[in-house]
Chains A and B, each alone.
Chain A
Amino acid sequence: MATSSKGRFIVRAEIRSSSESVISYGIELTATSIFVVTEWHAAIGTPVSLRLSFPRILEPIDLPARISDIRIAGEPGELGGIRLTFDGGSSEVAGKLIALLDRVNAPFARSSEEVPYRVLLVDDSQLVRDMFAHGTAQFFDRPGALAVDDAEDAEQAWAKLASSTYDLVIVDYILPAEDGASLIAKLRRDTRLASTPIIAISVAGRDAREATLSAGADVFVDKPLMFRDLFNTLRMLAEHRARVRPAAQRKSILVFDDSPFALALTRAALESAGFKVAVAEDLSSFERQRVTFDPDLILVDVQMPEAFGDDVASTLRGWHGVQVPIVLLSSLDQGELERRAQRAQASGYICKGAGMSELVRRCRELLEAAP
């Protein structure tokens, strides 16, 4: 049943034109085109850069493309968007795309059947939860390939996440009490759960998409859900689980900053560079993460309400005997930051004003130099 739905799966789609940058999702992927759900459009023929991925699972593929069709949203559930046809110039790109399609349409490996792909659906609608359970039971014709659990709100979801392990979490944005974006952000801050793939879903359109993607969702999908596409995607993800690079092989970085925004941004940059990341917003969380996460490198902001980062670095070095690189990260003047780093016996410093590329470059450099 599953193999008859070629191309009907969901990927994250990032579009860049000369004037716009849009993050959304794509469906109906073929060897020549994809339909991207979005409110944005430009004239037919407009060239764009397109990146297709499923963060944490599928490596990004960059494709030059052009708008070949525009579909205006009509009936409820009829999604508006643009069809992008890939420019055919690059055989390397075409090869990657074909490899992606092949992987997606490959039959289930035996190992995938033996260990179910575990999904947690967080949605306050009993009917949606029932439809999902019913749909997956019908779609996955090999019992045991997929194990679905559900939660009706963020609190219940968090309790389940604390006690079980899931390969994927699907989170509705509109939930009672705590919204889905807040749950996603909490998940991303947790050392154990931070690298879990997350699909956000909602009827709330663009606002929900922006909120959930900013919070750390990998892919956002509009409701009403196209269950077949979603199930195909689950099947693809289940198939890929075994191929995901083991987290243990990646270097780990703990970031300590009192700004949740800076933490989210730093985490996103470092994770996209291949690092395993944990974050801490206060001293108690930092101390807990330092022990449990056992990072290969520590990044510490300097001016924080509870402590100065250079004092933290100095104590870790001088009192706790921490050997891993400790780096001060701040928007202070470079001279001041350099002096503080030297006094604290930190391994170095990074000016926030230097941007994310420099941050990633310095982390790589320090980790490569570390014994």
Chain B
Amino acid sequence: MPEEEDLQARFLPQFVTLARARVATAVAAALRGDHGATTTTVRELHSLAGEAGLLGLQEVIPLARDSEQKAKRLHASHAAADADALVAALRQLATVIEGIGTTRSP
């Protein structure tokens, strides 16, 4: 629907700004081994997936959900390997978000 495109144009810049900040915070927490922050990371990534879905950003959804699952795993294990896997997933997510910010923002 045309309104959906209008809404995307209106809300995309805010989404990109918000998503960048969320992913950067999650990466920083994982890198410094702040396991107490993983609950927040899980919640933020879940929100990010939902917001991307509402905006129709299909390429973001699986990456955000994958990162969310990896954050849940890290929350349970506190293992360095799971932290590395989360950081790798988050970096992939960050790349896609940057791509959206560059190509789709007005």
Q: Which residues on A are within 8 Å of B, measured CB to CB?
A: 14, 16, 20-23, 40, 51, 62, 210, 213-214, 258-259, 261-262, 264-266, 268-269, 272-273, 301, 303, 305, 330-331, 351-357, 359-360
A264 to B7, CA, bound (A): 10
A355 to B56, CA, bound (A): 5
Residue among A258, A266, A268, A355 making CB contact with B10, cutoff 8 Å: A268
Provide 22 A-B residue pairs closer than 8 Å at the C-beta atoms, listed in order of the A residue. A14-B6, A22-B9, A22-B106, A23-B10, A40-B106, A62-B2, A214-B13, A259-B50, A261-B18, A261-B51, A262-B50, A262-B54, A264-B11, A301-B50, A331-B46, A331-B61, A352-B51, A353-B61, A355-B56, A356-B1, A356-B4, A356-B54
Query: Which residue on chain B has the smallest CB distance to residue A273?
Result: B3
Q: Which of B32-66 contact A (CB under 8 A)?
A: 43, 46-47, 49-51, 53-56, 58, 61, 65
Across-interface contacts of B61 in A (CB, < 8 A)? 331, 353
> Is A331 in contact with B13, judged by CB distance below 8 angstroms?
no
A356 to B54, CA, bound (A): 6
> Is A266 in contact with B11, judged by CB distance below 8 angstroms?
no
Contact A352 B54, CB 8 Å, known A22-B106, A23-B10, A261-B15 = yes
> Is A269 in contact with B3, judged by CB distance below 8 angstroms?
yes
Across-interface contacts of A40 in B (CB, < 8 A)? 106
The binding surface of chain B is classed by DSSP as helix
Across-interface contacts of A353 in B (CB, < 8 A)? 49, 53, 58, 61
Contact A357 B106, CB 8 Å, known A210-B13, A261-B18, A352-B53 = no
> Is B11 in contact with A331, judged by CB distance below 8 angstroms?
no
Interface string of B1-32 (1 = CB under 8 A from A): 11111110111011100100000000000000
The bracket for how many chain B residues form the interface is 20 to 34
> Is A331 in contact with B49, judged by CB distance below 8 angstroms?
yes
Q: Across the A-B interface, give the 9 residue pairs with the lowest CB-CB distance, nearest first.
A: A353-B53, A352-B53, A331-B50, A21-B9, A352-B50, A355-B56, A331-B49, A259-B47, A214-B14
**CB of B103 to closest CB in A, whole Å:** 10
Across-interface contacts of A21 in B (CB, < 8 A)? 5-6, 9, 106
**CB of B25 to closest CB in A, whole Å:** 15
Across-interface contacts of B43 in A (CB, < 8 A)? 303, 305
Extra pairs beyond A262-B50, A355-B53 (9, CB < 8 Å)? A21-B9, A40-B106, A258-B47, A331-B53, A355-B54, A356-B55, A356-B56, A357-B1, A359-B54
